[in-house]
Amino acid sequence: MPLLQNHIAVVTGAASGIGRAIAAGYAREGAQVTLLDVDGKGAEAAAQEIRDAGGLAESFALDVTKREDCIAVAKRVADQVGRVSILVNNAGINRRNGFTADPAAVLKDWQDIMAINLNGVFNVTQAFLEPLLAAKGRIVNIGSIQSFLHVRTPNSPAYTTSKHGVLGFTRALAAELGKHGVRVNAIGPGLIETPLNAAVRANDPGLVKIFMDHTPLGRAGKPEDIVGPAIFLASDLASYVTGTIVMADGGYRAI
Ligand code: NAP
């Protein structure tokens, strides 16, 4: 039997990259998938691709920074789709200005990255909390190798702080929601080839080399590399797993 049969899953940032791959993977495992993205057309194209492959999917445009919109979309999903039992908080952005760069740019990075990567996770989780509690659901947050500190690559303090926050939020919610039967975990991807880092990969081979020199598997990841861990954490295979982060980084953090 498919691993996610009878589940309704919501994936944010599902028009592209990792979120798009997770949504398709969940549909292949029998879940009905609701794709949310600030790029509403992209989310609908991804949903259509899932339907064309025989899966169940619908989409809604959603900017996760807009709290009221998150609440409104959660209501529409409840009315039009059903009771959500899996939430994947995946929407995120990255910029790599150091703290000593131009102060105006650093401030803008901080505000934009926190608004999406951290407050967005809060907004969407709170909006879908009621069905997740009722369903004894599962939450999967997308962290990063930057959920932990490392000094090999230039880190934007905003991105590193936001991804530490995602891990902290994951643990705090796991501690509180476990008694309600809700499991909360994170995934820590390494360098995954998506539009998020296309410019870095094209223009900064030195940085890519630093990543690859510290990746035992010796290659960058593909969005599909994150799908297995995401299915595992959302499924009953992980019935005794909560409050943890599954690293899907080719071994980067191990060395
Ligand atoms: P991606 O291909 O750029 O996909 C991210 C999606 O999120 C895009 O469709 C983007 O839309 C959407 N989005 C951006 N802001 C949003 C908002 N305010 N509300 C709703 N959706 C929004 O990036 P990705 O690499 O798949 O990243 C997905 C997650 O994985 C992120 O949390 C990222 O931090 C994390 N991650 C990625 C890597 C990696 O190497 N790729 C490594 C570690 C962690 P637009 O494109 O229209 O802005």
- Is the residue at 3 inside a domain? no
The helix (H) or strand (E) run that includes residue 112 is helix 103-113
Residue owning tokens 């919109």:
69
Eight-class DSSP state of 15:
T
- Is the residue at 139 inside a domain? yes
CATH number of the domain within which 57 lies: 3.40.50.720
What pLDDT, on a 0 to 100 scale, did the predictor assign at position 150?
73
Catalytic residues: 159
What pLDDT, on a 0 to 100 scale, did the predictor assign at position 154?
74
- Number of the ligand 1 atom closest to the C-alpha atom of 163: 34
Distance 116 CA to ligand 1 centre (A): 9
- Is the residue at 53 inside a domain? yes
- Is the residue at 187 inside a domain? yes
Residue 39 Cβ inside 6 Å of ligand 1? The answer reads yes
- Is the residue at 2 inside a domain? no
Q: Which domain holds residue 76?
A: 8-254
What is the number of domains present in the chain? 1
What pLDDT, on a 0 to 100 scale, did the predictor assign at position 96?
86
Instruction: Report the chain's C-alpha Rg in angstroms.
Output: 17
Residue 207 Cβ inside 6 Å of ligand 1? The answer reads no
| Torsion sign across C-alpha atoms 46, 52, 56, 61 | positive
| Pairing of the two strands 138-142 and 245-248 | unpaired
- Is the residue at 70 inside a domain? yes
Are 17 and 191 in contact, with CB atoms under 8 Å apart? no
Q: Whole-prediction pTM value?
A: 0.98
- Is the residue at 14 inside a domain? yes
Residue 16 Cβ inside 6 Å of ligand 1? The answer reads yes
Are 188 and 245 in contact, with CB atoms under 8 Å apart? yes
The residue ranges of the chain whose pLDDT is under 50 are none
What pLDDT, on a 0 to 100 scale, did the predictor assign at position 228?
98
- Number of the ligand 1 atom closest to the C-alpha atom of 192: 40
Whose alpha carbon is nearest atom 19 of ligand 1? 63
- Is the residue at 140 inside a domain? yes
Residue 250 Cβ inside 6 Å of ligand 1? The answer reads no
Residue type present at position 13: G
What pLDDT, on a 0 to 100 scale, did the predictor assign at position 120?
99
What pLDDT, on a 0 to 100 scale, did the predictor assign at position 156?
87
Distance 17 CA to ligand 1 centre (A): 7
